[in-house]
Chains A and B, each alone.
Chain A
Amino acid sequence: MDPTVTMDQPSEVWGRARRALDGLPDGRGLNIAHEAVDRHLGTDREHRVAIRWLGVRGAREDLTYGDLAERTSRFANVLQDLGVGAGDPVFALSGRTPLLYVAALGTLKHRAVFSPLFAAFGPEPVRTRLRIGRGRVLVTTEAQYRRKVAGLRGDLPDLEHVLLVDVAADAAPEGTRSLPALLDAARSTYEIGPTDPEDPALLHFTSGTTGTPKGAVHVHEAVVAHHATGRLALDLRDGDVFWCTADPGWVTGTSYGIISPLTHGATLVVDEGEFEAERWYGILRDQAVDVWYTAPTAVRMLMRAGADLAPREDLGRLRFVASVGEPLHAEAVAWGRDALGTPIHDNWWQTETGGIMVANGPGQQIRPGSMGRPLPGVDAAVLALDDHGELRRDGAGELVRCDPDETGELALRAGWPSMFRGYLDQDERYARCFADGWYRSGDLVRQDADGYVWFVGRGDDVIKSAGHLIGPFEVEKVLLEHPAVVEAGVIGVPDPVAGEVVQAFVSLAEGRHPSDELRRELLGHARGRLGPAVAPRTIGFDQDLPKTRSGKIMRRLLRARVLGLDEGDTSTLEVAR
């Protein structure tokens, strides 16, 4: 047994982690924004840079912890002045600008619920999420508002306040307000109200195989896991320069792109731009990044760009590199050692887990291709499945665990601090995620005799593209809106860069015929409604999509057909959750 693996009970691990945080003064509870920002005031961290923002056109803006405390207080006061209450949902739809971070933390200060949307979403995913989440406030940019939200206002009765980050007071379009003007007018101090650790804090949307997206609710206590796992899985230390390349529109970009590093007093690098190999290497070098958290797609794009762009000797500060989103292949782990001077540590978690659960952590031997081992405090098991994807039970009715190297479903003993506390308005769907006190991840894995976990596949039809989960139903629904389409099946197909890309197959209405022109029309329709992150990259025509007798498209069979797999083997591993 590896001596670094603690044998403590999970409750002891998390209890210790909780004591490493301050809690609100006078025992008023636990608030994420206090742990990330306010508690650093009056210490030597107050004048340290909390957020270093790098603009796409070369601009740079530094916010110290003191600045961040003041601005987030102003934002909390803005919410207060607008009549927004504790628990009210505040959404953000914006590129990575300093005000996005101010809005996130200011919302948490005010005990409202922060829900980030990905800026590359089209109007349809934005509308669906704002509706499900009953968003009362939206923080966004003028362009995003104009393109995606202005036309939907009539369909969003709960949306009272739209705050634009990039317009002056006299330039705000009708129905919106200038956030900079509101911040200027707001008071600069704010006392965080009593916060129960179980108060909702974050709402992250994720996708399932069927139905609408699910809004996973996280509570303020999640900060215990954000803080602890930042150290355990990412080696984050006080004063580190940390760069997480994930957008706050996804859970990684919030848990580790905002909260975790700030609780450690780190300097957070925020890059406004999208991936560009040479600039990324420049950021690692010029900002003297100590810890870097990125994704396999980015790693593969860097590998593709060639090693000559990577001046390894310039990256001497880089101490720890980690990756999440999908399995990191062994070649990428080794590439990191050669090109970056440190191997890349894969880890695993989900929107529902709120924080890293399984990791190739610091000081432990990496098994290339494996997601690592369960972190201290995380009780993980591989549960055996029967031929129908149901959990297997023994004669006494107990769940059966897999033997080493046997494939089953990864499950976590419920109760860790950052566990989601519900899917908004979908109690039954939430309940289906649990069995006998275990959270069922829906991921098929095997665990070797030394405890390392190896990803095998998804147990459902959800597509993993560039580290993001995409629900096929959401895509099919938009394709079916087009009058030429009567049936649609959406699957993920392997891609050397993104892991998987979204591919759609449609059956056409009578009188419509396949053509390149129609293909483009459908692609344009889907992209216009869904945005590039969710829309299919390619669309095929198929008048004979595989269906069950009840008429449901069998995506697994479709995928098997497209990839030339044995159709007989594909249904057995489906997870019935």
Chain B
Amino acid sequence: MTALTESDARDLIAKVLADIAPEVDLDGARPDGQLQEELGLDSMDFLNLMIGIHDETGLTVPERDYPALSTLDGAIAYLAERTA
């Protein structure tokens, strides 16, 4: 698996979200706010985000780790760390 820098991780999230929730403005979201609330995503969207990340990178995010990805900052840090 290719290592992702924080900037790569952010781009990855943006890319996957573009197919799930194209209306989302990642730049307008508070990076430490709750991702779903900030971006107007529901649980299905979040699940699809995890599936999309898997499809793009091969990385499986176990359910247990979902809380770590509940903010944009958290998700970026998590992806960078898991692919390091």
Which A residues contact B (CB, under 8 angstroms)?
56, 120, 274-279, 301, 304-306, 309, 466, 497-498, 501, 520-521, 523-525, 527-528, 531-533, 537
> Which residues of B29-84 are within 8 A (CB) of A?
34, 36, 40-48, 63-64, 66-67, 70
Name the distance in Å between B56's Cβ and chain A's nearest Cβ: 15
B21 in contact (CB, < 8 A): yes
Select which of A279, A304, A501, A525 is within 8 A of B44 by beta carbon.
A501
Given A276-B66, A277-B66, A278-B64, check contact A498 B44 (CB 8 Å).
yes
Which A-B residue pairs are the 4 nearest by beta carbons? A524-B22, A524-B23, A305-B63, A520-B22
With A56-B34, A520-B18, A532-B21: A537-B44 Cβ-Cβ less than 8 Å: yes
Q: Is the CB of A532 within 8 A of B63?
A: no
Cβ–Cβ < 8 Å partners of A277 in chain B? 63-64, 66
**Known contacts A274-B36, A527-B21; is-contact A306 B63 (Cβ 8 Å):** yes
B21, B23, B36 — which one has the most chain A CB atoms within 10 A of its CB? B23
Do B42 and A533 touch across chains, with their CB atoms under 8 A apart? yes
Instruction: Give complex CA distance A305, B50 in Å.
Output: 13
B22 touches A532 (CB 8 A): no
Bound Cα distance A528, B40 (Å): 9
The distance from the CB of A525 to the nearest CB of chain B, in whole angstroms, is 8
Contact pick for A527, options B18, B23, B36, B70, CB 8 Å? B23
Whose C-beta in chain A lies nearest to the C-beta of B21? A527
Q: Which B residues are within 8 Å of any A CB, using their own CB?
A: 18-19, 21-23, 34, 36, 40-48, 63-64, 66-67, 70
A373 to chain B, nearest CB (A): 32
What residues on B are CB-neighbors of A306 within 8 Å? 63
Q: Which partner residue on chain A sits nearest B66 by CB separation?
A: A276
Query: Which of A309, A498, A520, A525 contacts B19, CB < 8 Å?
Result: A520
By CB atoms of chain A within 10 A, which of B19, B21, B44 has the most? B44
Q: Name 6 extra pairs, CB < 8 A, besides A497-B44, A531-B40.
A: A120-B42, A277-B63, A523-B23, A524-B23, A532-B42, A533-B42
Report A335 CB to chain B, min CB distance, Å: 15
A436 to B64: give the CA distance in the assembly, Å. Answer: 54
- Given A521-B22, A523-B22, A527-B23, CB of A278 within 8 Å of CB of B42: no
Query: Once the chains bind, are A278 and B63 in contact (CB under 8 Å)?
Result: yes
Residue pairs across A and B with Cβ atoms less than 8 A apart, 27 shown, are A120-B40, A274-B36, A274-B46, A275-B43, A277-B63, A277-B66, A278-B63, A278-B64, A278-B67, A301-B43, A301-B47, A309-B63, A466-B43, A466-B44, A520-B18, A521-B22, A523-B21, A524-B22, A524-B23, A527-B22, A527-B23, A531-B40, A532-B21, A532-B40, A532-B41, A532-B44, A537-B44
Cα A466 to Cα B48 with chains together (Å):
14
Contacts of B22 in A (CB 8 A): 520-521, 523-524, 527
Q: Which residue of A lies closest to B63 (CB)?
A: A305
Alpha-carbon separation in the docked complex, A501 to B47 (Å): 13
A442 to B43, CA, bound (A): 28
Point out the residues of chain A lying under 8 angstroms from B21, CB to CB.
523-524, 527, 532
Contact call A276/B67, Cβ cutoff below 8 A: yes
Least CB separation from B36: chain A residue: A274
B68 to chain A, nearest CB (A): 11
Cα distance A277–B18 in the bound complex, in angstroms: 26
Q: Which chain A residues lie closer than 8 Å to B47 at the CB level? A: 301, 497
Would A274 and B43 count as touching, CB distance under 8 A?
Answer: yes
Q: Kindly list chain A residues whose C-beta atoms are within 8 Å of the C-beta of B23.
A: 523-525, 527-528
Determine whether the beta carbon of B67 is less than 8 Å from that of A279: yes
In the bound complex, residues from chain B placing their C-beta under 8 Å from that of A274 are: 36, 42-43, 46
Complex Cα spacing A275 to B46, Å: 10
| Min C-beta distance of A305 to chain B, whole Å | 4
Are A532 and B66 in contact (CB-based, < 8 A)? no
* Interfacial chain B residues near A532, Cβ < 8 Å: 21, 40-42, 44-45
Once bound together, how far apart are the Cα atoms of A527 and B46, in whole Å? 15
A422-B36 Cα distance, complex, nearest whole Å: 36
Q: Provide the residues of chain B in CB contact with A521, threshold 8 Å.
A: 22
Nearest A-chain residue to B45, judged by Cβ:
A532
Instruction: Judge whether A309 and B45 touch: CB under 8 Å.
Output: no
- For residue B43, which residues in chain A have a CB less than 8 angstroms away from its CB? 274-275, 301, 466
A160 to B45, CA, bound (A): 35
Nearest residue (CB) in A for B18 is A520
CB distance from A131 to the nearest CB of B (A): 22
Please indicate the chain B residues that have their CB under 8 angstroms from the CB of A501 in the complex. Answer: 44
Contacts of A533 in B (CB 8 A): 42
Q: Which residues of B contact A525 (CB under 8 A)?
A: 23
Bound-complex Cα distance A498 to B48 (A): 12
Partner among B36, B45, B48, B63 whose Cβ is within 8 Å of the Cβ of A304 = B63
Query: What is the CB-to-nearest-CB distance from B35 to chain A, in angstroms, rounded to a whole number?
Result: 11
B70 to chain A, nearest CB (A): 8
What CA separation (Å) do A306 and B61 show in the bound complex?
A: 13
For the complex formed, measure the closest distance between the CB of A149 and the CB atoms of chain B, giving whole angstroms.
15
Please give the distance in Å from B38's CB to the nearest CB on chain A: 10
Contacts of B63 in A (CB 8 A): 277-278, 304-306, 309
A185 to chain B, nearest CB (A): 30
In the bound complex, CA of A520 to CA of B22 (Å): 6
Question: Contacts of A305 on B, CB cut-off 8 Å?
Answer: 63-64
